[in-house]
Structure 1
Amino acid sequence: MARANDEVEAILREYADLIAITGGDAFKARAYEKAARAIGGYPADVSTLDAEGLREIPNVGRSIADKVAEYLRTGKMAVVEERRAKIPAGVRELITIPTLGPKKALRLYEDLHISSVSELAAAIEKDALADLKGFGEKTQENIRHGIELLRRAGTRVPLSLALDTAERIVAELSAVTGCTRCAYAGSLRRMRETVGDLDVLVAAERSAPFMDALCELPVTAEVVARGAKKTSVRTGKGLQVDLRVVPPQSWGAALQYFTGSKAHNIRTRTIAGHQGLKLSEYGVFDTGSGASVASRTEEEVYARLGLPWIPPTLREDRGEIEAALGEGLPEVVTERDIRGDLHTHTDLTDGLASLEAMVEAAAERGYAYYAVTDHAPNLYMQRMTDEKILAQRERLRELDGTRGRMRLLHGTELNIGPEGEVDWPEEFLAGFDLCVASLHSHFDLGRTAMTRRLVWACEHPYVNVIGHPTTRLIGKRAGVDADWDEVFAACARTGTALEVNAQPDRLDLGDEDILRAREHGVRFAVNSDAHSVPHLAQLRYGVGTAQRGWLTGEDVINTWPLTRLRRFLRKGRRG
Structure 2
Amino acid sequence: MARSNDEVAALLQEYADLLAITGGDRFKARAYEKAVRAVAGYHGDIAGLDIKQLRAIPGVGKSIADKIGEYFEHGSVQAIEEVRARIPAGVRQLMAIPTLGPKKAAQLHHDLGISSIEELVDAIHHERLRDVKGFGPKTEQNILHGVELMQQAGDRVLINVAMDLAEEIVTGLAAVTGCSRCTYAGSLRRFRETIGDIDILAAAENPGPVMKAFRDLDLVGEVIAGGEKKTSIRTTKGLQVDLRVVPPQAWGAALQYFTGSKGHNIRTREMAVHAGLKLSEYGIFDVETGDLIVSETEEEVYRRLGLPWIPPTLREDRGEIEAAQRDELPELVTERDIRGDLHTHTDLTDGVSSLEDMVATAAARGYAYYAVTDHAPNLVMQRMSDDKMLAQREQVRELAARYPKLTLLHGTELNIDADGEVDWGPDFLAGFDLCVASVHSSFTQPREQMTRRLVRACENPYVNIIGHPTARLIGRRPPVDADLDELFRACARTGTALEINSFPDRLDLRDEHILWAKQHGVKFAINSDSHSTTHLAAIRYGVGTAQRGWLTKDDVINTWPLSRLKKFLRKGRA
Normalised to the residue count of structure 1, the TM-score between the two structures is 0.97
Displacement, 1:150? 0.7
Aligned residue number for residue 362 of structure 1: 362
Aligned residue number for residue 145 of structure 1: 145
Aligned residue number for residue 224 of structure 1: 224
Q: How has the CA–CA distance of structure 1 residues 510 and 429 changed in structure 2, closer, same or farther, with 3 Å as cutoff?
A: same
Displacement, 1:132? 4.1
Query: Residue 458 of structure 2 aligns to a residue in which SS?
Result: helix
Aligned residue number for residue 408 of structure 2: 408
Aligned residue number for residue 522 of structure 1: 522
Aligned residue number for residue 210 of structure 1: 210
**Contact 2:34–2:350 under 8 Å retained in 1:** no
Aligned residue number for residue 353 of structure 1: 353
Query: Residue 2 of structure 2 aligns to a residue in which SS?
Result: coil
Displacement, 1:139? 2.7
Alignment of 1:544-555 (within 5 A): 544-555=544-555
Q: How has the CA–CA distance of structure 1 residues 325 and 344 changed in structure 2, closer, same or farther, with 3 Å as cutoff?
A: same
Alignment of 1:439-450 (within 5 A): 439-450=439-450
Alignment of 1:68-217 (within 5 A): 68-109=68-109, 112-217=112-217
Distance in 2 (CA, whole Å) between partners of 1:482 and 1:6 is 33
Distance in 1 (CA, whole Å) between partners of 2:80 and 2:207 is 43
**Contact 1:401–1:407 under 8 Å retained in 2:** no
Aligned residue number for residue 25 of structure 1: 25
Q: How has the CA–CA distance of structure 1 residues 57 and 482 changed in structure 2, closer, same or farther, with 3 Å as cutoff?
A: same
Query: Residue 234 of structure 1 aligns to a residue in which SS?
Result: strand
Query: Residue 202 of structure 1 aligns to a residue in which SS?
Result: strand
Aligned residue number for residue 293 of structure 1: 293
Q: Count the aligned residue pairs.
A: 574
1:347-386 per-residue CA deviation (whole Å, 9 max, x = no partner) reads 1111111111110010011100000111112212222222
Displacement, 1:424? 1.3
Aligned residue number for residue 456 of structure 2: 456
1:120-166 per-residue CA deviation (whole Å, 9 max, x = no partner) reads 22332233434445443333222111101111111111111111111
Matched to 1:373, the amino acid is T
Aligned residue number for residue 249 of structure 2: 249
Matched to 1:294, the amino acid is V
Q: How has the CA–CA distance of structure 1 residues 218 and 350 changed in structure 2, closer, same or farther, with 3 Å as cutoff?
A: same
Distance in 2 (CA, whole Å) between partners of 1:20 and 1:382 is 19
Aligned residue number for residue 537 of structure 1: 537
**Contact 2:37–2:351 under 8 Å retained in 1:** no
Aligned residue number for residue 323 of structure 1: 323
**Contact 1:203–1:245 under 8 Å retained in 2:** yes
Distance in 2 (CA, whole Å) between partners of 1:533 and 1:436 is 20
**Contact 2:422–2:437 under 8 Å retained in 1:** yes
Q: 478-487 or 123-132: which moved more?
A: 123-132
Alignment of 1:272-291 (within 5 A): 272-291=272-291
Matched to 1:315, the amino acid is R
Matched to 2:563, the amino acid is T
Q: How has the CA–CA distance of structure 1 residues 78 and 177 changed in structure 2, closer, same or farther, with 3 Å as cutoff?
A: farther
**Contact 2:41–2:534 under 8 Å retained in 1:** yes
Displacement, 1:76? 2.6
Matched to 1:284, the amino acid is I
Aligned residue number for residue 422 of structure 1: 422
Distance in 2 (CA, whole Å) between partners of 1:287 and 1:396 is 66
Displacement, 1:418? 1.9
Displacement, 1:62? 1.3
**Contact 2:374–2:411 under 8 Å retained in 1:** yes
Matched to 1:347, the amino acid is D
Displacement, 1:232? 1.1
Distance in 2 (CA, whole Å) between partners of 1:378 and 1:85 is 38
Query: Residue 129 of structure 2 aligns to a residue in which SS?
Result: coil
Q: 225-234 or 286-295: which moved more?
A: 225-234
Aligned residue number for residue 13 of structure 1: 13
Displacement, 1:84? 3.3
Aligned residue number for residue 342 of structure 2: 342
Matched to 1:360, the amino acid is A
**Contact 1:307–1:324 under 8 Å retained in 2:** yes
1:327-357 per-residue CA deviation (whole Å, 9 max, x = no partner) reads 4210100100000000011111111111111
Distance in 2 (CA, whole Å) between partners of 1:142 and 1:439 is 18
1:238-273 per-residue CA deviation (whole Å, 9 max, x = no partner) reads 211111111111111111001000000011111111
Displacement, 1:6? 1.4
Query: Residue 454 of structure 2 aligns to a residue in which SS?
Result: helix
Query: Residue 183 of structure 2 aligns to a residue in which SS?
Result: strand
Aligned residue number for residue 570 of structure 2: 570
- Gaps (5+ residues) in structure 1? none
**Contact 2:511–2:548 under 8 Å retained in 1:** yes
Displacement, 1:108? 3.9
- Gaps (5+ residues) in structure 2? none
**Contact 1:474–1:506 under 8 Å retained in 2:** yes
Aligned residue number for residue 373 of structure 2: 373
CA RMSD of aligned residues (A): 1.6
Q: How has the CA–CA distance of structure 1 residues 107 and 439 changed in structure 2, closer, same or farther, with 3 Å as cutoff?
A: closer
Q: 512-521 or 326-335: which moved more?
A: 326-335
Displacement, 1:224? 1.5
Distance in 2 (CA, whole Å) between partners of 1:333 and 1:161 is 23
Displacement, 1:290? 0.6
Q: Percent identity?
A: 69
Query: Residue 129 of structure 1 aligns to a residue in which SS?
Result: helix
Matched to 2:240, the amino acid is Q
* Residue 43 (1) aligns with residue 43 (2): yes
Q: 417-426 or 114-123: which moved more?
A: 114-123
Matched to 1:505, the amino acid is D
Query: Residue 414 of structure 1 aligns to a residue in which SS?
Result: strand
Normalised to the residue count of structure 2, the TM-score between the two structures is 0.97
Matched to 1:11, the amino acid is L
Aligned residue number for residue 311 of structure 1: 311
Q: How has the CA–CA distance of structure 1 residues 413 and 134 changed in structure 2, closer, same or farther, with 3 Å as cutoff?
A: closer
**Contact 2:377–2:385 under 8 Å retained in 1:** yes
Displacement, 1:112? 4.6
Matched to 2:537, the amino acid is A
Distance in 1 (CA, whole Å) between partners of 2:331 and 2:269 is 24
Q: 324-333 or 7-16: which moved more?
A: 7-16
